[in-house]
Amino acid sequence: MNLSSVLADAGGATQLAVRTLALGGVTVVIGASAFRWVVMGSAARANTVTGDVERQVERQVASIGMVAAVVVTIAAAWRIVAQADAFLSPGDPLLPVVVAVLKTTWGRAATVQVAAALVALVGFWSTRNASSRGWTVALGAAVVMAATPAWMGHAAATESRTVIAIGADMLHVGAAGGWAGAVIVLALVLRHLQRETGDGAMAAELISRFRILALVCAGTLLGTGATSALFRLAAPSDLFTSPYGLILSAKLAIVASAAILGRRHSQTAALRARTGGASAVTASIGAEAVLFVLVLALSALLSASPPPTD
C-alpha cells in the first residue's frame, strides 16, 4: 500500500485532517450527550453524586460538547467550500458552485450537520447557565448529527440494500460516540478532577457508571461494523490485499487494543481512583482516549478511500 496514493484518494493531508476533525467533533458531541444522560444521569438517580463537584463535572462536559460543536461547524463548512472548489474551473465564481454542491445529497447532509452542530452548541451553552432543557436540545442535535456521516460517505452510494447500509452506518456512528466519544469526554473530565479537586470518589463513580454504556456501544459497534464490512469488501481476503482492507485492519487492531485497555479499566480503574484519587487513572484512561483518536483518523481515511467493491 502506497501512502501517497492513499492520501491522494483522501484529497491530501489537509482534507484528511479536516475529515478527522469533523468526524471527531461529531463523535465527541454524541459522547458528551451520552455521558451526561447515561453516566451522570444514572449516578444522580442513585444519589451517588451531588453538590458542587457534580455541577463542576456537568459544566466541564458541556464545555467539551461546545468545543466539539464548534469544531464540527468549522470543519463541515470548510469541507463544503473545498468540495465546491474541487469542481471549480479557472476564472469561475465560487458561490454558484457552492450552491450546486449544497443541492446534492452530500451537500444537504453537510448542511444538516452544520445546523445540528449549531443547535448542539446552543444547547450545551444554555446548560452552563443552569438550563436543564439545554441537555435535551443537545441530545436531539447529537442524534441528528449521528445520521449525517452515512449520507456523506460510502453508505449512501451503496447500490443494493441502501437502507440497511445507511441504517448500519448511523448506528455505527452513534455507538462510536457512546464509546469512543464518551471515553474522550471521561478522560478530559478526569483530568479536570485531578487538576481542580482530586476527587477520587467522583472519578470512581463515573468510571463505574460508564461501564454499561461502553459495553452496549461496543457490542453495537461490532455488529454494525461487521454489517458495513459486508457491503464494502468483496471477499475476506480484501482485508489484507486491498488498501481499503489494510486501513480497516489497522483500525480493527487499534480498536481491539482500546477494548483490552477498556476491559482492564472496567475491572480496576474505579478501585484505583477510589483509593488513589483521580490522578491514579487519568494517564491510563487518557491513553485509551488517544487510541480512539487514532481510530477516528483511520475512520476518516476509510471514508475517503474507495472500497474493493467499487
| CB 146 within 8 Å of CB 173 | yes
pLDDT at 88 over 80: yes
Band (106; pLDDT cuts 50, 70, 90): very high
pLDDT at 23 over 80: yes
Average pLDDT over residues 57-77: 96
Q: Which of 217, 299, 308, 307 is nearest to 19 (CA)?
A: 299
How far is it, in rounded angstroms, from Cα 148 to Cα 109? 5
- Cβ neighbours for 250, distance < 8 A, ≥ 6 positions apart: 298
Domain count, the chain: 1
Q: Is residue 230 part of a domain?
A: yes
How far is it, in rounded angstroms, from Cα 278 to Cα 204? 8
| CB 209 within 8 Å of CB 43 | yes
The cell numbers describing 282, all together, are 487519568
pLDDT at 126 over 90: yes
Q: Is residue 191 part of a domain?
A: yes
Phi-psi category of 47—alpha, beta or left, where left has phi over 0 and alpha has psi -120 to 50?
Answer: left
Q: Is residue 82 part of a domain?
A: yes
Q: Report CA Rg, the chain.
A: 20
- pLDDT, greater one: 241 or 68: 68
Range of the domain at 228: 3-303
pLDDT at 293 over 80: yes
How far is it, in rounded angstroms, from Cα 142 to Cα 118? 11
How far is it, in rounded angstroms, from Cα 17 to Cα 301? 9
What does the pLDDT read at residue 195? 87
pLDDT at 50 over 90: no
Q: Is residue 256 part of a domain?
A: yes
Q: Is residue 30 part of a domain?
A: yes
In the chain, % of residues over pLDDT 90: 70
In the chain, % of residues over pLDDT 70: 94
Residue the block writes with cell 461546545 = 66
How far is it, in rounded angstroms, from Cα 264 to Cα 244? 31
The cell numbers describing 265, all together, are 479499566
Band (102; pLDDT cuts 50, 70, 90): very high
Enter the pTM of the model: 0.94
Band (49; pLDDT cuts 50, 70, 90): low
Q: Which of 151, 148, 156 is nearest to 231 (CA)?
A: 156
How far is it, in rounded angstroms, from Cα 164 to Cα 176? 18
**Residues present in the chain in total:** 310
Average pLDDT over residues 159-185: 94
Average pLDDT over residues 180-201: 90
pLDDT at 2 over 80: no
What does the pLDDT read at residue 10? 65
Average pLDDT over residues 95-122: 96
What does the pLDDT read at residue 234? 85
Compute the mean pLDDT over every residue in the chain, rounded to the nearest whole number.
Answer: 91
Q: Is residue 309 part of a domain?
A: no
Q: Is residue 35 part of a domain?
A: yes
- pLDDT, greater one: 137 or 195: 137
Q: Is residue 310 part of a domain?
A: no
Band (309; pLDDT cuts 50, 70, 90): low
How far is it, in rounded angstroms, from Cα 67 to Cα 115? 15
Residue the block writes with cell 484519587 = 277
